[in-house]
Amino acid sequence: MPALTDTDASILVTGANGFVGAWIVKRALEKGYRVRAAVRTVQKGRHLLESNKVHGDKLEIVAVGDIAKGPLDEAVKGVDAIIHTASPVTLQCDDPKELIEPAVNGAVGILSSALKNGPSVKRIVVTSSFATLLAYSTEPVTVHEGLWNEASVKDVEVNGSKAAPISKYAASKTLAEKAVWKFVEDHKSEINWDVTVINPPWIFGPVVHEVTTLDTLNASNQHFHRGLVKGDFQGTDPLKYPNRGWCDVRDVADAHIRSLEVPAAGGERLLVSNASFVYQDLLDLANSLDPKPYHTLAMGTPGTPIRFVTIDASKADRILALKYKTAEELVRDTFADYTARGW
């Protein structure tokens, strides 16, 4: 299937006012694309318009309500590509259905709308998660796109509301991504577009979406602040936690846009990630920097980190040719963002 070849093309971005979505909107506009930003309400799109006003009418806001409850039939009309980022990101729920149903319905809904009303669409990029590959591990493991996190789905099926919080979230992402690939297979004779799925791990970095206080930061950045500033690791050992990969939000945004542009990305599942890490890695780095990147830094437990996870992102590296931000860039830029906000 053809990728985008014209930077004047139009891209629909769902979840456009979120942490990742807002960066995708920014990066796409900077490259010259026209962006249709799908948000729940007009109010939620005002910050996007203000922060990207230099791009004038290249940015269009469309209020679509809750996409898990209704199709985006009108929103997909006339666009050349779709980036679907909208999905619940939280560990705070009782019934797993609170996460699973909106994740699955939203993903299938956008594909259904593209099938019915998106004849101009060439490619759809879906934001999935590292959690569809692996939730966590206490044994050495190499993580790659060939893995599926069946363990979390099983935990939810067997234990319901008593399943581990990470299992509920991981199951929602896993089942949503499986539904995407099933839809593509079931409708392969009808669709004139292809799909790329991005599987990022922990995403940190400066924010461009609307936040007013630390408490309104997105979930992963709240974890970053609590760990590096307050020394709060959710009761775990910073030498061992979280044993997953990390990626700068700016790189994740670029990966989505590159996935629209590179023909070889079509039909692929791509793990986009820097190396694996535990919080002590970032703590040691932050405390080693001169000048000090932030007014308060935790120390954690200096020692030898225990890493069970090895990241194999070679496929995404080969196809997308990303140049990842370093851990130092991540730490410095994120804390500079906090400082600029007066935090």
Q: Which helix (H) or strand (E) holds 285?
A: helix 279-288
The full set of domains in the chain, from first to last, is 10-206+245-273+312-326 (3.40.50.720)
Q: What is the pLDDT of residue 71?
A: 78
Spatial CA neighbour of 13 closest among 39, 52, 31: 39
Is residue 331 classed as helix, strand or coil in its secondary structure?
helix
CA distances from 49 to 25, 30, 54, 247, 252 (A): 10, 14, 9, 26, 22
Q: Encode 117-145: b = buried (16+ Cβ within 10 Å), e = exposed.
A: bbebbbbbbbbbbbbbbbbbeeeebebbb
Residue type at position 100: I
Mean pLDDT confidence for 257-266: 97
pLDDT tens, position by position, 49-85: 999 999 999 999 999 988 777 779 999 999 999 999 9
CA distances from 19 to 115, 218, 229, 339 (A): 27, 7, 20, 18
DSSP state of 325: P
Q: What is the pLDDT of residue 90?
A: 67
pLDDT tens, position by position, 99-114: 999 899 999 999 999 9
Yes or no: say if 4 and 28 are a contact pair by the CB < 8 Å rule: no
Yes or no: say if 109 and 72 are a contact pair by the CB < 8 Å rule: yes
The pLDDT confidence band at residue 91, using thresholds 50, 70 and 90, is low
Residue type at position 26: K
Q: What are phi and psi of 29, to 5 degrees?
A: -65, -40
64 vs 71: CA distance, rounded Å: 9
105 vs 166: CA distance, rounded Å: 20
Q: What is the pLDDT of residue 1?
A: 58
Q: What is the pLDDT of residue 19?
A: 97
186 vs 11: CA distance, rounded Å: 25
As a whole-number percent, the residues of the chain with pLDDT over 70 amount to 98
pLDDT tens, position by position, 290-334: 999 999 999 999 899 999 999 999 999 999 999 999 999 999 999
Mean pLDDT confidence for 4-19: 93
pLDDT tens, position by position, 144-153: 999 999 999 9
Q: What is the pLDDT of residue 65?
A: 87
Q: What is the pLDDT of residue 12?
A: 98
Q: Dig out the tokens for 17 from the structure.
A: 């006012």
pLDDT tens, position by position, 117-139: 989 999 999 999 999 999 888 89
pLDDT tens, position by position, 26-50: 999 999 999 999 999 999 999 999 9
Residue 192 has pLDDT above 80, yes or no: yes
pLDDT tens, position by position, 193-230: 999 999 999 999 999 999 999 999 999 999 999 999 99
Q: Which helix (H) or strand (E) holds 197?
A: strand 194-199
ω into 206 cis (within 30 of 0):
no
Q: Dig out the tokens for 310 from the structure.
A: 């090895």
Q: What is the pLDDT of residue 229?
A: 97
Pairing of strands 81-84, 123-127: parallel
The pLDDT confidence band at residue 234, using thresholds 50, 70 and 90, is confident
Q: What is the pLDDT of residue 250?
A: 98
Q: What is the pLDDT of residue 301?
A: 94
Q: What is the pLDDT of residue 87?
A: 79
Predicted TM-score (pTM) above 0.75: yes
Spatial CA neighbour of 239 closest among 281, 211, 187, 177: 281
Residue 173 has pLDDT above 70, yes or no: yes
